[in-house]
Chain A
Amino acid sequence: MTITPETVAFAIMSVLVLGGGLGVVSSRNLIHAALYLALTLFGVAGLYALFEAPFLAAVQVLVYLGAIAVLVTITIMVTRRLMGITENVNRQWPVAALIAVLAAAILGFVVISQFAGVYPTQAVPPDTIERMGQSFASHQGFLLPFEVASVLLLAAMIGAIVVARD
């Protein structure tokens, strides 16, 4: 594989994603875990940009980095008084690690045996975002799932307010 700007960008984003993920599950300090989570989410946004899906990259930064990472950080700060816990993993962590390693082995085997060396055959159509917007508003497209998602978000918003209120 020759070194092109794309491979360099892929290497950087993969290191951000995997290193951040490792930091999220291994940090004792939860604030550090939240910052590693933000790193991972930024790396995933970079991967979307590499997939030529700029809209998804922007939504990833807005929704995940702008909303979810901030929400997690605020929750950690609100519940901070009990953060001085010495052990951060429970008794079943060896079993959890075993399951994770087994799942990684199975997924890696399937990926290598089924999808090795697949390259894109077509270019991304330049009007993808436009067609996506139209499909969200047409009966032939995704109008019903779109409306259901908006009802879900409304229900989640009201539910979160009711549950977290004094």
Chain B
Amino acid sequence: MIPLHLYLLVSAGLFCMGIYGVLARRNAVAILMGIELMLNAVNINLVAFWRYISPESLNGQVFAIFVFAVAAAEAAVGLALIISIYRNRETVIAEDVNILKW
């Protein structure tokens, strides 16, 4: 069997790549992709702890499924917002959308 910490290290690496993607990329679609990476890292952790600590309970898997549902909703609404911004302002660069910036 693979020890738990190897899975957790893979998940930590994926999460940190997601952090960098969210903070550093200019394109709003790329920012959303970074968020997807972070959600996937969290899901790997949830399922890893379910498998290694308490496989007889259902909580880890069920939590991961709710994360799936929230990720699907977030992607749909986020991408719809990006398409709407692109129609109105002809840009998908996050720092150009500054109408609400004081």
Chain A positions within 8 Å of B, measured between CB atoms, are: 6-7, 10, 14, 17-18, 21-22, 24-25, 30, 33-34, 37, 40-41, 44, 47-48, 50-53, 55-56, 59-60, 63-64, 67-68, 71-72, 75-76, 78-79, 82, 85, 87-90, 92-93, 95-97, 99-101, 103-104, 107-108, 111-112, 115-120, 122-125, 128, 131-132, 135-136, 141-142, 145, 149, 152-153, 155-157, 159-161, 163-164, 166
Contact = CB atoms under 8 A, between A and B. Distances in A.
Contacts of A6: 1-2
Contacts of A60: 68
A145 B69 CA distance: 11
Contacts, number: 241
B58 A24 contact: no
30 contacts: A17-B14, A21-B17, A30-B30, A33-B30, A37-B33, A40-B40, A50-B2, A51-B51, A53-B61, A64-B68, A76-B29, A90-B94, A100-B20, A104-B13, A107-B8, A107-B12, A108-B9, A111-B5, A111-B9, A117-B4, A117-B5, A118-B3, A120-B1, A122-B55, A124-B51, A132-B58, A149-B70, A159-B76, A160-B79, A164-B80
A68 B58 contact: no
B65 to A, nearest CB: 7
Contacts of A82: 86, 90-93
Contact of B18 (A21, A63, A120, A163): A21
A68 B36 contact: yes
Residue among B4, B23, B24, B25 having the largest count of chain A Cβ atoms under 10 Å: B24
Contacts of B95: 90
Interface of B: 1-10, 12-21, 23-27, 29-30, 32-34, 36-37, 40, 43-44, 47-48, 50-52, 55-56, 58, 61-62, 64-66, 68-77, 79-84, 86-87, 90-95
A24 B83 contact: no
Given A37-B36, A108-B9, A135-B62, A78 B83 contact: yes
Contacts of A115: 4-5, 8
Contacts of B30: 24-25, 30, 33, 88
Main secondary structure of the interface of A (DSSP, over half): helix
Contacts of B23: 92-93, 95-96, 99-100
Nearest to B60: A53
A65 to B, nearest CB: 11
